[in-house]
Amino acid sequence: MGKKQSRAERDELLADIAEMYYERAMTQAEISREVGITRSAISRLLTEARQRGIVEIHIQRPIRFNSELAQKLKTRFSLKVAHVLTWEDEGRYEILKQRLGAAGAKVFSDLEKDGQVIGVAWGYTVSAVIDAMPENHLAGVKVTQLVGVLGSSVHKYSGQALVEKLAGKLDGEGVYLYTPFIVEKPQTATVLRNDQSVRETMLIGQNCDLAILGIGSTIPEYCSLFQGGHIQKSDLKELQQAGAVGDVCGHYFTADGSIAQVAFHQRLIGISLEDLRNTPVRLAVAGGLNKAEAILGAIRGELVNHLIVDSLTAARILALDAP
């Protein structure tokens, strides 16, 4: 650890000490004697190893489900499957998304099979689900993009990035939709939908066995499309004036589940409403009290039939639906 120690040599030392401590379960005193430096220096080096990313700590928190609330949701809304994640903290939405992602990955592992066509939308929660999935090499799986591209750059939560990541984890084939999610004119959308390569991708999407979906909101602070600059303020205002409370794959609906009557839909490129509803497993992962009305609308509109949600939001959904 002299002045002439190179970066590579220091990284090697940090890795050696981290292996002794975390993998070989040696105490700091034992490491000190073996390496020949003070115990306090060992403590500092372990901290540096974490800060530099040489050590990454992952906590596998147990996932607890509330079966009583899940049964109420399933019975009330005729859902095929409902899973309610036990959650008691109204804040910490970022942590909630991670926990929902872990729950979604657990449920997905029971649904994935060889030879499936799996559709992927976009969104932060969908991204969290795929991030939490372990690798599982399946035979003959296709992962297809259900909606067009969000802007000119690839975001962590965009469709093409999620398709690539999930296809890699399942050892499957990725099928991409290289068109914008929304265009300025309906005529442009029609031309693009009639393009041969676009038609071929959308045909695969029509035959999905399973779709992993997020549920969007029209509340500006929680609308990822608006926050990301993918739709304009005028678009959001049009949707709100039509009574839209949320969307699935860009199909906006009101609180009673009716599809909002807006010209916005004519400019979309992605899976049609009919094909979405015909997908056998429509697995939506969403949560947070501000999403309750949007989730309720998606359920009432039969855009989802498998739901993963947190317990606070599940209780709010049931209260909103009360006579």
Q: Which pLDDT score is estimated for 311? A: 97
pLDDT digits (tens, 9 = 90+) for 112-168: 999 999 999 988 999 999 999 999 989 999 999 999 988 655 567 788 999 999 999
The DSSP line for 69-105 is HHHHHHHHHT-SEEEEE----SS-HHHHHHHHHHHHH
Q: Looking at per-residue confidence, does 266 or 223 come out higher?
A: 266
Mean pLDDT over the full length of the chain: 92
Q: Architecture of 67-320 per CATH? A: 3-Layer(aba) Sandwich (3.40)
Residue 60 has pLDDT above 70, yes or no: no
Instruction: Over range 270-299, report the average pLDDT.
Output: 96
The string of pLDDT tens digits covering residues 207-216 is: 999 999 999 9
- pTM for the full model? 0.82
CATH of domain 7-51: 1.10.10.60
Other Cβ atoms closer than 10 A to 124? 17
DSSP 8-state symbol, 276: H
Tens of pLDDT, residue by residue over 70-103, are 999 999 999 999 999 999 877 788 889 999 999 9
Task: Name the band, by pLDDT with cuts 50, 70 and 90, for residue 59.
Answer: low
Spatial separation of the C-alpha atoms in residues 289 and 295, rounded to whole Å = 10
Backbone angles phi, psi at 158, to 5 degrees: -80, 160
Model confidence pLDDT, tens digit, residues 251-271: 999 999 999 999 999 999 999
Average pLDDT of span 261-287: 96
- At residue 308, the 3 state secondary structure works out as strand
Secondary structure class of 259 (helix, strand, coil) = strand
Domain layout of the chain by residue ranges? 7-51, 67-320
Q: At what angle do helices 28-35 and 39-51 cross, to 10 degrees?
A: 100
Q: What is the pLDDT of residue 227?
A: 84
**269-275 average pLDDT score:** 95
Q: How far is CA 195 from the centre of its chain?
A: 29
Question: Quick check: 283 and 262 in contact, CB under 8 A?
Answer: no
Report whether 86 contacts 311 (CB < 8 A). yes
